[in-house]
Protein backbone atom coordinates (compact mmCIF):
# COMPACT_ATOMS: atom_id res chain seq x y z
CA UNK A 1 0.00 0.00 0.00
CA UNK A 2 1.13 3.60 -0.46
CA UNK A 3 2.79 5.63 2.26
CA UNK A 4 0.13 7.90 3.74
CA UNK A 5 0.21 11.29 5.47
CA UNK A 6 -2.75 12.55 7.52
CA UNK A 7 -2.42 16.32 7.08
CA UNK A 8 -4.65 17.91 9.76
CA UNK A 9 -2.59 19.06 12.74
CA UNK A 10 0.59 19.36 10.66
CA UNK A 11 2.08 22.54 9.23
CA UNK A 12 2.69 22.91 5.52
CA UNK A 13 6.43 22.67 6.15
CA UNK A 14 6.02 19.43 8.11
CA UNK A 15 3.89 17.82 5.39
CA UNK A 16 6.37 18.82 2.68
CA UNK A 17 9.25 17.36 4.70
CA UNK A 18 7.44 14.09 5.40
CA UNK A 19 6.23 13.86 1.80
CA UNK A 20 9.77 14.25 0.50
CA UNK A 21 11.08 11.58 2.85
CA UNK A 22 8.42 9.10 1.71
CA UNK A 23 8.75 9.94 -1.98
CA UNK A 24 12.45 9.12 -1.93
CA UNK A 25 11.54 5.45 -1.34
CA UNK A 26 9.98 5.28 -4.81
CA UNK A 27 6.51 4.28 -3.66
CA UNK A 28 3.23 6.03 -4.30
CA UNK A 29 2.57 8.70 -1.66
CA UNK A 30 -0.88 9.73 -0.48
CA UNK A 31 -1.70 12.77 1.68
CA UNK A 32 -5.27 12.89 2.99
CA UNK A 33 -7.34 15.84 4.26
CA UNK A 34 -4.85 18.22 2.75
CA UNK A 35 -5.20 21.74 1.36
CA UNK A 36 -4.47 23.56 -1.85
CA UNK A 37 -1.75 25.47 0.02
CA UNK A 38 0.11 22.24 0.74
CA UNK A 39 -0.34 21.05 -2.83
CA UNK A 40 1.11 24.29 -4.19
CA UNK A 41 4.05 24.04 -1.79
CA UNK A 42 4.79 20.52 -3.05
CA UNK A 43 4.45 21.62 -6.68
CA UNK A 44 6.78 24.56 -6.10
CA UNK A 45 9.59 22.23 -5.03
CA UNK A 46 9.77 21.05 -8.65
CA UNK A 47 10.61 17.53 -7.48
CA UNK A 48 7.46 15.63 -8.36
CA UNK A 49 5.96 14.43 -11.61
CA UNK A 50 2.42 12.99 -11.67
CA UNK A 51 1.33 14.93 -8.59
CA UNK A 52 -2.47 15.17 -8.30
CA UNK A 53 -4.78 17.15 -6.00
CA UNK A 54 -8.45 16.25 -5.67
CA UNK A 55 -10.39 19.31 -4.57
CA UNK A 56 -13.46 17.29 -3.55
CA UNK A 57 -11.83 15.13 -0.88
CA UNK A 58 -8.65 17.22 -0.43
CA UNK A 59 -6.26 14.37 -1.20
CA UNK A 60 -2.82 14.64 -2.79
CA UNK A 61 -1.46 11.62 -4.66
CA UNK A 62 2.00 11.12 -6.10
CA UNK A 63 2.11 8.19 -8.50
CA UNK A 64 5.57 6.68 -8.87
CA UNK A 65 4.58 3.06 -9.49
CA UNK A 66 2.75 2.11 -12.66
CA UNK A 67 1.45 -1.31 -11.66
CA UNK A 68 -1.64 -2.90 -13.26
CA UNK A 69 -4.99 -2.45 -11.54
CA UNK A 70 -6.92 -5.36 -10.09
CA UNK A 71 -9.07 -7.49 -12.37
CA UNK A 72 -12.06 -7.19 -10.07
CA UNK A 73 -13.62 -3.80 -9.49
CA UNK A 74 -14.53 -2.51 -6.02
CA UNK A 75 -17.95 -0.81 -6.16
CA UNK A 76 -18.11 2.34 -4.03
CA UNK A 77 -21.78 3.11 -3.46
CA UNK A 78 -23.10 6.41 -2.14
CA UNK A 79 -26.54 7.09 -0.71
CA UNK A 80 -26.46 10.68 -1.95
CA UNK A 81 -24.38 13.16 -3.90
CA UNK A 82 -23.43 14.85 -0.61
CA UNK A 83 -21.51 11.69 0.33
CA UNK A 84 -19.16 12.06 -2.65
CA UNK A 85 -16.22 13.69 -0.79
CA UNK A 86 -15.89 10.62 1.46
CA UNK A 87 -16.50 8.23 -1.44
CA UNK A 88 -13.86 10.03 -3.49
CA UNK A 89 -11.33 9.63 -0.68
CA UNK A 90 -12.09 5.89 -0.75
CA UNK A 91 -11.73 5.77 -4.53
CA UNK A 92 -8.37 7.57 -4.62
CA UNK A 93 -7.02 5.43 -1.77
CA UNK A 94 -8.09 2.16 -3.40
CA UNK A 95 -6.64 3.18 -6.76
CA UNK A 96 -3.38 4.16 -5.06
CA UNK A 97 -3.35 0.54 -3.86
CA UNK A 98 -3.73 -0.59 -7.50
CA UNK A 99 -7.41 -1.50 -7.23
CA UNK A 100 -9.99 -0.89 -9.93
CA UNK A 101 -13.03 0.99 -8.60
CA UNK A 102 -16.44 2.07 -9.80
CA UNK A 103 -18.58 4.78 -8.24
CA UNK A 104 -22.31 4.09 -7.99
CA UNK A 105 -23.87 7.32 -6.80
CA UNK A 106 -27.16 8.52 -5.32
CA UNK A 107 -28.91 5.18 -4.79
CA UNK A 108 -29.98 5.66 -1.16
CA UNK A 109 -33.30 4.65 0.33
CA UNK A 110 -34.97 7.86 -0.88
CA UNK A 111 -34.30 6.72 -4.46
CA UNK A 112 -33.79 2.98 -4.08
CA UNK A 113 -35.20 2.25 -7.56
CA UNK A 114 -31.92 3.60 -8.96
CA UNK A 115 -30.13 0.67 -7.32
CA UNK A 116 -32.09 -2.04 -9.15
CA UNK A 117 -30.02 -2.18 -12.33
CA UNK A 118 -26.78 -2.24 -10.28
CA UNK A 119 -27.61 -5.36 -8.24
CA UNK A 120 -25.94 -7.84 -10.61
CA UNK A 121 -22.78 -5.73 -10.63
CA UNK A 122 -22.73 -5.59 -6.83
CA UNK A 123 -23.31 -9.33 -6.52
CA UNK A 124 -20.30 -10.08 -8.71
CA UNK A 125 -17.91 -8.06 -6.51
CA UNK A 126 -15.51 -9.47 -3.91
CA UNK A 127 -16.22 -6.56 -1.56
CA UNK A 128 -18.43 -3.45 -1.60
CA UNK A 129 -17.93 -0.07 0.07
CA UNK A 130 -21.15 1.73 1.07
CA UNK A 131 -20.99 5.42 1.99
CA UNK A 132 -24.11 6.91 3.58
CA UNK A 133 -25.17 9.72 5.89
CA UNK A 134 -28.61 10.63 7.21
CA UNK A 135 -29.82 7.40 8.89
CA UNK A 136 -27.27 5.18 7.10
CA UNK A 137 -29.77 2.49 6.06
CA UNK A 138 -28.19 1.81 2.66
CA UNK A 139 -25.47 -0.42 4.13
CA UNK A 140 -28.09 -2.83 5.49
CA UNK A 141 -29.97 -2.83 2.19
CA UNK A 142 -26.87 -3.76 0.21
CA UNK A 143 -25.73 -6.19 2.91
CA UNK A 144 -28.94 -8.12 2.31
CA UNK A 145 -28.38 -8.26 -1.45
CA UNK A 146 -24.78 -9.49 -1.68
CA UNK A 147 -22.79 -12.44 -0.32
CA UNK A 148 -19.48 -10.60 0.00
CA UNK A 149 -18.15 -8.31 2.76
CA UNK A 150 -19.67 -4.82 2.92
CA UNK A 151 -17.51 -2.04 4.36
CA UNK A 152 -19.90 0.64 5.63
CA UNK A 153 -18.83 4.27 5.99
CA UNK A 154 -21.15 6.56 7.95
CA UNK A 155 -20.87 10.19 6.93
CA UNK A 156 -21.58 13.39 8.83
CA UNK A 157 -24.15 14.40 6.18
CA UNK A 158 -27.55 14.99 7.75
CA UNK A 159 -29.84 17.16 9.83
CA UNK A 160 -29.72 17.78 13.60
CA UNK A 161 -30.65 14.30 14.85
CA UNK A 162 -27.99 12.85 12.57
CA UNK A 163 -25.62 14.12 15.28
CA UNK A 164 -22.73 14.65 12.90
CA UNK A 165 -22.84 11.06 11.65
CA UNK A 166 -23.44 9.25 14.96
CA UNK A 167 -26.96 8.21 13.93
CA UNK A 168 -25.66 6.66 10.70
CA UNK A 169 -22.82 5.02 12.62
CA UNK A 170 -25.20 3.41 15.11
CA UNK A 171 -27.56 2.23 12.36
CA UNK A 172 -24.69 0.55 10.55
CA UNK A 173 -23.32 -1.02 13.74
CA UNK A 174 -26.80 -2.40 14.49
CA UNK A 175 -27.33 -3.76 10.97
CA UNK A 176 -29.17 -7.09 10.88
CA UNK A 177 -27.53 -7.85 7.51
CA UNK A 178 -24.63 -10.23 8.04
CA UNK A 179 -21.24 -9.31 6.61
CA UNK A 180 -21.46 -5.57 7.26
CA UNK A 181 -18.37 -4.06 8.91
CA UNK A 182 -18.22 -0.40 9.90
CA UNK A 183 -15.41 2.16 9.92
CA UNK A 184 -15.35 5.56 11.60
CA UNK A 185 -17.42 8.55 10.52
CA UNK A 186 -16.25 10.04 7.19
CA UNK A 187 -13.35 7.56 7.07
CA UNK A 188 -13.27 6.70 3.38
CA UNK A 189 -9.54 6.02 3.69
CA UNK A 190 -9.85 3.10 6.12
CA UNK A 191 -12.76 1.62 4.18
CA UNK A 192 -10.66 1.62 1.02
CA UNK A 193 -7.66 0.02 2.71
CA UNK A 194 -9.82 -2.80 4.13
CA UNK A 195 -11.64 -3.34 0.84
CA UNK A 196 -8.40 -3.32 -1.15
CA UNK A 197 -6.84 -5.97 1.10
CA UNK A 198 -9.95 -8.15 0.77
CA UNK A 199 -10.09 -7.75 -3.01
CA UNK A 200 -6.39 -8.51 -3.40
CA UNK A 201 -6.62 -11.64 -1.22
CA UNK A 202 -9.68 -12.84 -3.16
CA UNK A 203 -7.93 -12.39 -6.50
CA UNK A 204 -4.76 -14.09 -5.25
CA UNK A 205 -6.85 -17.06 -4.11
CA UNK A 206 -8.46 -17.37 -7.54
CA UNK A 207 -5.19 -17.24 -9.50
Burial (Cβ within 10 Å: 0-12, 13-18, ≥19) of residue 86: buried
Q: Which pLDDT band holds residue 205 (cuts at 50, 70, 90)?
A: confident
What are the pLDDT digits (tens) for 73-105?
999 999 889 999 999 999 999 998 889 999 999
Mean pLDDT to the nearest integer, 31-40: 93
Q: What is the pLDDT of residue 112?
A: 85
Q: What is the pLDDT of residue 139?
A: 93
Q: What is the pLDDT of residue 69?
A: 84
Whether 59 has a pLDDT exceeding 90, the answer reads yes
Q: What is the pLDDT of residue 86?
A: 96
Q: What is the pLDDT of residue 48?
A: 85
Mean pLDDT to the nearest integer, 63-70: 82
Q: pTM of the entire structure?
A: 0.89
How far apart (Å, rounded) are the C-alpha atoms in residues 164 and 154? Answer: 10
Q: Which CATH architecture has domain 73-206?
A: 3-Layer(aba) Sandwich (3.40)
Mean pLDDT to the nearest integer, 16-22: 92
Mean pLDDT to the nearest integer, 56-61: 94
Question: What is the residue extent of each domain of the chain?
Answer: 3-62, 73-206
What separation in angstroms does the CA of 10 have from each of 3, 42, 82, 117?
Answer: 16, 14, 27, 44
Question: Which of 59-68, 72-81, 123-132 is least confident?
Answer: 59-68
Mean pLDDT to the nearest integer, 15-44: 91
Amino acid sequence: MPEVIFCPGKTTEQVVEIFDSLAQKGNNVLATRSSEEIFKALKNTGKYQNLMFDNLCKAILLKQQDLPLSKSSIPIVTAGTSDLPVATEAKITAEAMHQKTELICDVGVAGLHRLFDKVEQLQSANVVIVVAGMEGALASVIGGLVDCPVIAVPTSVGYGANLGGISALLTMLNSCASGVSVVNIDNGFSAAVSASLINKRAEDAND
